[in-house]
Structure 1
């Protein structure tokens, strides 16, 4: 009798979890139509939206009747396996911590990101397979976190922004040996193709290249082009063979233009975009992912705390970081396609929604900023049929705030409800 009762309880619990669920929203932002729908019920089943219609009196509905509901946000540029700290501490941890230490820390960072309302992220670079392992843990339900699309190890040239041996002295470099395509470092078109194939073997979802120098790498120049155009074309061609999109980190104008001519799908940061680059964005139908938050953060920290970054990095942070917001405003007004991205990890995770405010400050209307983090981001991910909108057949990713974010964009920093794939992670 006891065994039958226990079995019955288990079956009942399974049935309850599988039963459709209703979410009652005071209003719902239709991101495609660009308008609010009042008093809406969203029916969710098996992790997907079943229907969206007039509010019902379902007794067991999740009550968000005093809230504004939107699709879960998508951040197209994060690094979930690390977080900003003084560079001397970061170097010490590189030499003393194991990959498992960083993996365990990443669990907290992923949870913080999800609860900030970001139900999907594109992770653009992590060593030791960490981002891929984190993605698998989230997908299996072992840990909470956003849905991840990951580039695995970024691909650089020798001495380039993502060369993992940049901060090491000669003795360490000699002991480790020069990294090659398997470690994401290339010096020819052939090695570029090999590096893409290694990312496929690694389990990546897309490719990330560092087409120019960077702010936080231990090198004097944060703008110089670091690939030949032939090398970039080889990356893009190999990526297409494997169904990968290509994201290119790029600050300097020449590196941006080489990457666009080679056919990359997005430019990350894009600090020194010029008129010729704007024309190339439009010609090649590429997206701009601005990461204003990271630029603002590194510039502010470099000014406030002279010891936070190394002497090589500090002047780059001040020079480059302050320019991204204005560049974004110019690119938006020129009609360049924008997808939301922050470079979270360069600044604290969970503060991703600050980017909305920076975008609005630079001239983008609040609705367009939200679209950049929903339908535009979904399009760049090739996920327009299941992410970025709340409609039948789409993933049940829903966030809610109290108030009207189209009137006060800062409300998006105060998300009170988060559902991903029909599972509630945060309630008012």
Structure 2
């Protein structure tokens, strides 16, 4: 179990173990189920042989032991990059650390980053530039070998000289895999599937932090994009597309991707088209705001200039897209440097401001709607009988006031039925 800054409850967590089965109950706690408030509720879940919510029903009455507390589903961050330096800020150079650090050490930093997000109530992370480090970490987390949030990992199919490739200096000999031509793209998708990827990432435009890049540049030919998406979908893998430019967004939609990352310069026509197709967008507001600020901690003057050119038009376009029904979900682009793991609540508050959403609609973007975006809507992002027991006990009512959603207000975090952060306050044992 991770440490919590909160004081432990007077009573220990409510649990009883028969063989390997542990069952928990909270009776009379205020609950929000991922869509709407349920009032005082009785929630029962299992750990051990099972990890699901066994029952959820109205409580006979609120329990005064839970005054000021509520239960919500665990948050889902649909866009992160776990492999960044996890130590104190400024302890390593953002660009060179991954290039000069062995995978055995990287995985430990990835786990530390994942656990930092967990402490803020994030129970599922989706890494969108994964390789064997994240695939291995994801399996260890799923198997209970190490404690932490769920991890979904997408392998990146990038082209030579494309957005992903331009994070590595030209003369550096050790590079992430790239693919040029439809057949090579199909092969790389298959290799990621064999390695255990949960999905595929592709870029259809250039980016901001990649060096010598331009957000307006095309990435991949249409034939390559079609091959990537077709092969991924044939293998049951969803495809997330990095796209800043109008042309990049259009080409991603033409290829049939499942989600778009950033979508910074989305037009009204493209927003309506994406909404009709059920394509979701993670707007990643904080990272581009911070890069655009010109603060040298967050990147070069070149990156700041690129970010400013996008941000100056972004907010009005995204506000209009939301009004047209485009479904935005939580995605921070956290890498431990520009956006720290645990900054997810700050990203949600930025989304509420830019998109003009209520606290409840914004919280849906981090729970039930985010779960649907990562193709886990049947079990994650909601609290109901049969769903996975991923939940957060928090002080306040975040669906009414997003300011309540802060790491210092997290009392307990449960993943796969196990209490991994803090302690449950005053539940009762089922015998």
Q: How has the CA–CA distance of structure 1 residues 53 and 138 changed in structure 2, closer, same or farther, with 3 Å as cutoff? A: same
| CA contact 2:292–2:303 (8 Å) conserved in 1 | no
**1:401 shift after superposition:** 2.0
> Radius of gyration: which is bigger?
1
**1:90 shift after superposition:** 3.0
Note if 1:112 corresponds to 2:140. Answer: no
In the alignment, the residues of structure 2 paired with residue 92 and residue 381 of structure 1 have an alpha-carbon distance, to the nearest angstrom, of 30
| CA contact 1:403–1:411 (8 Å) conserved in 2 | yes
Q: Secondary structure at the match of 1:315?
A: helix
2:77 paired residue number: 75
- Which has the larger displacement, 363-372 or 316-325? 316-325
Q: Secondary structure at the match of 1:53?
A: strand
In the alignment, the residues of structure 2 paired with residue 315 and residue 421 of structure 1 have an alpha-carbon distance, to the nearest angstrom, of 43
Q: Secondary structure at the match of 2:164?
A: coil
Q: For 1:329-364, what per-residue CA distance to the aligned partner results, in whole angstroms no more than 9, with x for missing partners?
A: 222111112222111114111111111111111201
**1:278 shift after superposition:** 1.5
In the alignment, the residues of structure 1 paired with residue 327 and residue 96 of structure 2 have an alpha-carbon distance, to the nearest angstrom, of 40
| CA contact 1:356–1:370 (8 Å) conserved in 2 | yes
Q: For 1:153-185, what per-residue CA distance to the aligned partner results, in whole angstroms no more than 9, with x for missing partners?
A: x1111111111x653244x44xx5xx6xxx541
Q: Secondary structure at the match of 1:399?
A: strand
| CA contact 2:85–2:92 (8 Å) conserved in 1 | no
| CA contact 2:32–2:399 (8 Å) conserved in 1 | no
Note if 1:353 corresponds to 2:353. Answer: no
In the alignment, the residues of structure 1 paired with residue 64 and residue 127 of structure 2 have an alpha-carbon distance, to the nearest angstrom, of 31
**1:409 shift after superposition:** 0.8
Q: TM-score, normalised by structure 2?
A: 0.85
Q: How large is the RMSD of aligned CA atoms in angstroms? A: 2.6
Q: How has the CA–CA distance of structure 1 residues 240 and 370 changed in structure 2, closer, same or farther, with 3 Å as cutoff? A: same
Alignment of 1:22-421 (within 5 A): 22-24=25-27, 26-32=29-35, 34=36, 36-45=37-46, 46-55=50-59, 64-83=66-85, 89-127=93-131, 129-152=132-155, 154-163=156-165, 166-170=167-171, 172-173=172-173, 183-300=176-293, 303-305=294-296, 308-321=298-311, 323-345=313-335, 346-362=338-354, 363-413=356-406, 414-421=409-416
2:7 paired residue number: none
Q: For 1:263-309, what per-residue CA distance to the aligned partner results, in whole angstroms no more than 9, with x for missing partners?
A: 00110001111123213213422111111122223223xx233x642
In the alignment, the residues of structure 1 paired with residue 350 and residue 16 of structure 2 have an alpha-carbon distance, to the nearest angstrom, of 45
Q: Secondary structure at the match of 1:89?
A: coil
In the alignment, the residues of structure 2 paired with residue 87 and residue 218 of structure 1 have an alpha-carbon distance, to the nearest angstrom, of 21
In the alignment, the residues of structure 1 paired with residue 91 and residue 299 of structure 2 have an alpha-carbon distance, to the nearest angstrom, of 5
The number of aligned residues is: 399
| CA contact 1:329–1:364 (8 Å) conserved in 2 | no
Q: TM-score, normalised by structure 1?
A: 0.86
| CA contact 2:272–2:321 (8 Å) conserved in 1 | no
Which 5+ residue runs of structure 1 have no aligned equivalent? 1-11
In the alignment, the residues of structure 2 paired with residue 418 and residue 133 of structure 1 have an alpha-carbon distance, to the nearest angstrom, of 23
**1:146 shift after superposition:** 1.1
**1:134 shift after superposition:** 1.2
Q: How has the CA–CA distance of structure 1 residues 387 and 316 changed in structure 2, closer, same or farther, with 3 Å as cutoff? A: same
